[in-house]
Chain A
Amino acid sequence: DTAVSQTPKYLVTQMGNDKSIKCEQNLGHDTMYWYKQDSKKFLKIMFSYNNKELIINETVPNRFSPKSPDKAHLNLHINSLELGDSAVYFCASSPHITRTGNEQFFGPGTRLTVL
């Protein structure tokens, strides 16, 4: 009965490859996110999706593309991987955007290592 799940948990790949990380939430939430946590533990928003529409896209290289086949899924595709892409990527979800301080529920993270 995992709330937010990500696959895989660990991903090791060569520079230049294309990879995907999958995220699924079974909470019925409307909004999903991708965060990147670098080697210094700094967490930064990459994307957020509300009802399958991208509503925020921070300054992320266009090699990164979120894809949401339905409200419960937000996958992250990364093309032409670079060494600097090595990080832990977190998926999160929250209820529909309102003025209340809705909690974001995080997945377990995917540790991506680019060799």
Chain B
Amino acid sequence: AQTVTQSQPEMSVQEAETVTLSCTYDTSESDYYLFWYKQPPSRQMILVIRQEAYKQQNATENRFSVNFQKAAKSFSLKISDSQLGDAAMYFCAYRTPQTGANNLFFGTGTRLTVIP
């Protein structure tokens, strides 16, 4: 079974600084998808970034980028130029490409605080 581990329950960052959130996962599959979701106090789950395992290039979305290390099964999220609106719970998630199994396996989340 796939498991996703986020070892940092809480992180904090000064506004305008950079922070990295860690995520590791366990799988025997070679092809899969990884996601970072953000959950602000409003509870809404918002996709931040996604990575396809067969792509070696790290995904980037504006101030958000990932460091995908397939051999190490590591998928960290880097937030640059942190803003107050980045404060939220961040969840790492794994999805198998197998047909009929489209659900996400989530980590336990990291609560990010942005300090003005």
Contact = CB atoms under 8 A, between A and B. Distances in A.
Interface of A: 31, 33, 35, 40-45, 48, 50, 55-56, 88, 90, 92, 94, 97, 99-104, 106, 108-109, 111
B103 A101 contact: no
Chain A facing B: main interface SS: strand
Given A101-B35, A109-B43, A33 B95 contact: no
B91 A101 contact: no
B44 interface: yes
Interface of B: 31, 33, 35, 37, 39, 42-47, 50-52, 89, 91, 95, 97, 99-106, 108-109
A100 B51 CA distance: 10
B57 to A, nearest CB: 14
A23 to B, nearest CB: 14
A56 B35 CA distance: 20
Contacts of A111: 43
Contacts of A102: 102
Given A42-B108, A45-B104, A55-B100, A90 B45 contact: yes
Nearest to B45: A106
Contacts of A42: 106, 108-109
B44 A94 contact: no
B109 A56 contact: no
B108 A106 contact: no
Nearest to B101: A56
A9 to B, nearest CB: 9
A97 B108 contact: no
A101 B109 contact: no
Nearest to B102: A97
Given A40-B108, A42-B109, A43-B106, A101 B95 contact: yes
Residue among A40, A43, A97, A111 having the largest count of chain B Cβ atoms under 10 Å: A43
